[in-house]
Chain A
Amino acid sequence: MPRNRAPAPATTSDEEETAVRADALRPTLELAEQIWNQLDAGEIPRMRLPLRTKQNLEFRMREGVWKLGRQMGTRSARKLDGALMLLRTFYLVDFINEMAKSKKTSTLRELYYISEAWQEAKFHSEDESNLLIEDLEVLCQRLREDFRLHPEENGASVLGDLTIKERNRKGIVKTINCRDDVGDGGYALPFNVEKGKIEFVKTSAKFVIAIECGGMVDRLAENGFDEQYDAILIHLKGQPARSTRRFLRRVTEELKLPVVVFTDGDPWSFRIYASVAYGAIKTAHLSSYLATPSAEFLGVTASDIENYDLPSDHLSEQDVRALQAELTDPRFGTAEWRSEIELMLKNGKKAEQQSLAKYGLNYVTEHYLPEKLAEMGVL
């Protein structure tokens, strides 16, 4: 039975690679053995997995993150869907073991296409394959990188006075300052942001501000906010990728910097904050590795919309449903979040970050952010 311990981070340092990879795939073969034994014993093959649902999120006081609880589900060959998922699992296990032998890696999307050859076991969508990989992560307590699978999309971009060392594709270590050595787009995070790939060298920054939209990142950069307030700007690009969340976690842990999250004022942005700070539902098995419990929500809050009299839109039906779903989401179970969500429902309004431009292009950097950051005690 899998325990919900945080998996050991994958590493790419050359000397360790072979040993780590062999160990990485051992649990997948144990899984095959388990099913073979069931078949041999005349039992209907099945696997038990912790449910990755919001009802099965539990708060871990010690780590300050939400992780998977004890509710288990069964994937059984008694039903057609279950039987297909079991078969898929071993096509996947076979595939990643073959990849390890030939020292190849594959993107998640490539895996989806690889499955075309699996006949009835092929995936019908990339979502389906991603979910199964996460299942395998949970079952084997490994990361998908251990399975030599990675997303094609890189993480976010970083802008500010932070010097890092990155070992690039060719194995050459580059030292990069994320303000002085990069163009206007900032430093782009690779999908692997682990030690061995990226090391922090130094920074003069006093805090990190994680921002939902690119337009707002550009505004802060153009207004020189990062230099004026000694901030590192990180562009989340909507719901942040794993590498972005892992990077945020490392920055706070290793550089001891506070993180604030600055998003639009709508229900979906609340979820962005929740997955950064508390852990996401689908990757709750990785929360102690990906979540940044110290991250604080800066805004735009429902009260900001009123207090700053921001141009707003009416909540759509989906928005209202999303807010109501959040009221039953344990991660939003605090009094603060409840009142925030209820206020937004009551006012029926949402606003974008960039609506602050109503008061001019400098308003966000000269008034809004300094005020909010002072309120939060960051400045």
Chain B
Amino acid sequence: MRSVAPPSIAQQLAAKQREISVAEFFERNRQILGFDNPQRSLLTTVKEAVDNSLDSCEEARILPEVTVQIAKEGEDRLRVTIDDNGPGILRREIPNVFARLLYGSRFHSNRQARGQQGIGISAAVLYANLTTARPAKIVSKIEEEEAAHVLELFLDTQKNQPRIVSEDVLLWDRPHGTKVELVLRARYVRGRQSPYEYLRGTAIVNPHARILLIEPDGTRVTFERATTDLPPIAKETLPHPYGLELGELGYFLKSTKRPTLGEFLAKDLQGVSARAAREVLAQCALPANRPPSSVHSEEQERLLTALHGAALIAPSGDCLSPIGSMLIKRGLRNVLGDVRPEFYAPPVSRPPKVRAGFPFMVEVGIVYGGALPPDQPVQILRFANRVPLLFQQGACAITNAISNLDWRRYGLDQRGGSGLPSGPALILVHVASTKIPFTSEAKEAVAEDPEIDREVTLALQVAARHLRTHLSRRTRRDLAGAKFEIILKILPKLAEKTSHLTGKPVPDLTPVITRIMDVVNLEAAVSRDASGVHVAVEAVNYTPRARVLELFAEIPPEAMAGATFDPAPDGTDPALGRAWWTLSKLPPNGRTKLALTFPPKTDLDAADLDWYVAGVDEAHLLGADPLPGDWDVRLPRTIVEAAEAAAAEGAPADGAEEEVDYDAAESSAGASDDE
């Protein structure tokens, strides 16, 4: 009798080994993939589809028109439809693009794009299949074909393969585009981390896109495009050795068509000159004429070490797609219109830098005031490769960079000089890179990195300095506001009362008014009508002496071309957007007006114009700055003399400042006999 040996451990284990179905994979990684609850699942679905739409439009150089419609389909079900005017998808690709995980065109490309891994939209399809047992419906038309293809798809969870349940063709009223329709278990909310917030953020950093959101209750929210200029296409570039890992190097060596190692290094990699290639090969003792495919793994390791240690040309930023400071401003202004912020700091676009072989760049915008809540932490809008980051704010390197800056220096409240500042401000930070280090596969937060931190901090500081300048100007304006209140409201009444009590005539207040104000005030107001955009400027000489004012305007050059001026300027420099006037002599309390007219629909507001006055120092100017030295304008003799005389005179001998302010002393001394 033969005894039957019990199965060995290896056999037992082998019996348990089997392929993990994608359904299981999905189930276990729901959180990473962004489908852990009904609210978030909806957001992830919208996000993946919209990212795809924008990426495809950008590649095809099409101005995107994206519509997201969310409709109720049952107790806890929503029908989500996203359609775009993108280039469309070839019939044979449709099943794989939408119903197969890890299938995509961008995984191996070395340039900035929104999506990369090829999980996104198929995961949404799988989620819809699993939660409602309904297929995804895809409609797509390419320009070359007459009709659109309509496919209904399931993702086969055993094989990770698409399963087509129906197919049809459709005459579609558009030349090209794609529509995805999914029914899924989901919940619609508005507010934080909602599709609304996501689309709003997307609209800010994609001002060339027009996005329409139709909410379940029928509300239509349109994020109108703010520009018809497409962002420059990010170039696909060769991989740079600094960012290369061993496995990738091996892959490139195997798949290259270059006959020799020397040629491979110089032509298939970025930043390696012929000379640098020779040096690298000498360093790792490999002959230049070796066929690349023959380099074995130990040699590959030596080669990589040599490459990492070599002095190479830094990776180029051409493959990045920054938004650009002008478009950040437009995007913010477009979307924040109803908040009516009082100040947009000129957005900062830092030059590209490199970390671990990958180029990256940082952009920052700050908005202040208006209807933004004054006593809460500032709003932070984080973006990675033009995609809004809505989750994990606290774990993000961007948030940390903001928290580590001492914002008190720049005029925001911040307890103890660190942590999130508070105040009516919104801070936008965009990090663009061919490889952004995320804290996790869910791509919700940028991981800590000293290079990125440094760039974000530098960009924040530049924008924050503009904020500080604005706030200190505002303080001066407020102070001036108090003075205006005195001269316009209180003094006339005081004169009237004392005249009444003494029975004397009301005195001329001009000398007192000019002594209190002692500034030249400039005010520019913008109004629009069918005939154009009108800028009305008024200069008032609230100083005790008559002045000839030399007034300079700095106007965006593109707006200056169509502008007319009344009176005509004494000189202009259209290329630099400059115009200047010598105004007739203004007596104390005297005023004069200027009118600028621009063609209708000129994109211009009061903040786009800068005003300078020559011969008056900063302390005696309101609404304008002293003429900077670099304008290099030859000033009329009278102005120069007036300025010299004012400088020689020094501070006004008034002496009033040394006295104790009676009302301030009263209140600060405090102690009375009562409690």
Contacts and interface: CB of A to CB of B under 8 A. Distances in A.
Interface of A: 28-29, 32-33, 35-36, 39-49, 51-55, 71-87, 90-91, 93-94, 97, 120-121, 131, 239, 268, 271-272, 274-275, 280-282, 318, 322, 325, 329
Q: Which of B495, B497, B504, B673 has the most CB of A within 10 A?
A: B673
A196 B116 CA distance: 100
Contacts of A131: 666
Nearest to A73: B662
Interface string B312-338: 000000000000000000000000000
A87 B507 contact: no
Given A52-B666, A120-B490, A281-B672, A82 B512 contact: no
Contact of B502 (A32, A81, A83): A32
28 contacts: A28-B501, A36-B498, A36-B499, A51-B660, A51-B662, A53-B665, A54-B671, A55-B669, A73-B659, A75-B662, A77-B516, A79-B486, A79-B661, A80-B483, A80-B490, A81-B664, A84-B490, A85-B663, A86-B494, A87-B490, A87-B494, A87-B497, A90-B494, A90-B501, A93-B497, A93-B501, A94-B497, A282-B673
Contact of B482 (A36, A79, A282): A79
Contact of A53 (B482, B486, B515, B666): B666
Interface in B502-524: 502, 504, 507, 509-512, 515-516
A70 to B, nearest CB: 12
Contacts, number: 150
A275 B671 CA distance: 13
Interface string B238-271: 0000000000000000000000000000000000
Contacts of A274: 673
Give 8 nearest A-B pairs by CB, closest first.
A42-B511, A73-B662, A53-B669, A32-B501, A90-B497, A36-B498, A40-B507, A74-B659
A91 to B, nearest CB: 7
Nearest to B669: A53
Contacts of A80: 482-483, 485-486, 490
A121 B493 contact: yes
Contacts of A35: 494, 498
Contacts of A275: 673
Nearest to A35: B498
B75 interface: no
A22 B673 CA distance: 33
Contacts of B666: 51-53, 73, 131
Interface in B642-675: 656, 659-666, 669, 671-675
B500 interface: yes
B491 interface: yes
B498 A39 contact: yes
B192 interface: no
A73 B486 contact: no
Given A79-B482, A83-B494, A54 B511 contact: no
Contacts of A272: 673
B489 interface: yes
Given A42-B510, A81-B664, 10 more contacts: A33-B502, A43-B512, A72-B659, A73-B661, A74-B661, A80-B485, A239-B673, A275-B673, A282-B673, A329-B671
A281 B671 contact: yes
Contact of A73 (B504, B512, B660): B660
B660 A83 contact: no
Nearest to A41: B511
Nearest to B493: A87
Contacts of B671: 53-54, 281, 325, 329
Contacts of A42: 510-512, 515
Given A39-B495, A121-B493, A45 B482 contact: no
Contacts of A32: 497-498, 501-502
Interface in B352-391: none
B673 A36 contact: no
B21 to A, nearest CB: 70
Contacts of B507: 36, 39-40
A36 B511 contact: no
A74 B662 contact: yes
A282 B659 CA distance: 21
A209 B290 CA distance: 117
B512 A94 contact: no
B479 to A, nearest CB: 9
Interface residues of B, number: 39
Given A77-B491, A239-B674, A36 B502 contact: yes
Given A32-B497, A51-B665, A120-B490, A78 B516 contact: yes
Contacts of B498: 32-33, 35-36, 39, 90
Given A36-B502, A87-B493, A72 B660 contact: yes
Given A75-B662, A79-B661, A94-B500, A120 B656 contact: no
Contact of A97 (B491, B501, B510, B662): B501
Contact of A120 (B489, B502, B512, B663): B489
B665 A83 contact: no
B499 to A, nearest CB: 6
Nearest to A34: B498
Contacts of A82: 661-663
Contact of B663 (A29, A75, A97): A75
Interface string B569-588: 00000000000000000000
B480 to A, nearest CB: 11
A19 B2 CA distance: 143
Contacts of B485: 80
A74 B509 contact: no
A153 to B, nearest CB: 14
A82 B485 CA distance: 12
Contacts of B495: 36, 39
Nearest to A321: B671
A120 B494 CA distance: 12
A94 B501 CA distance: 7
B494 A268 contact: no
Contact of A36 (B493, B504, B656, B660): B504
A42 B489 CA distance: 17
Given A32-B497, A36-B502, A83-B490, A46 B656 contact: yes
B673 A281 contact: yes
Contacts of B673: 239, 271-272, 274-275, 280-282
Contacts of A120: 489-490
A216 B366 CA distance: 67
A51 B483 CA distance: 25
B656 A76 contact: yes
A239 to B, nearest CB: 6
Contacts of A282: 672-673
A90 B666 CA distance: 20
Interface string B459-499: 00000000000000000000000110110011101110111
Contacts of A329: 671
A73 B665 contact: yes
Given A44-B516, A90-B498, A77 B486 contact: yes
B497 A91 contact: yes
Q: Which of B501, B662, B669, B671 has the most CB of A within 10 A?
A: B662
Q: Which of B498, B501, B502 has the most CB of A within 10 A?
A: B498
Q: Which of B485, B502, B515 has the most CB of A within 10 A?
A: B502
Contacts of B486: 77-80, 83
Given A40-B507, A131-B666, A274-B673, A78 B494 contact: no
Interface in B87-107: none
Interface string B191-218: 0000000000000000000000000000
Contacts of A53: 665-666, 669, 671
B503 to A, nearest CB: 9
A109 to B, nearest CB: 17
Contacts of B665: 51, 53, 73
Contacts of A55: 669
Given A39-B495, A82-B661, A77 B490 contact: yes
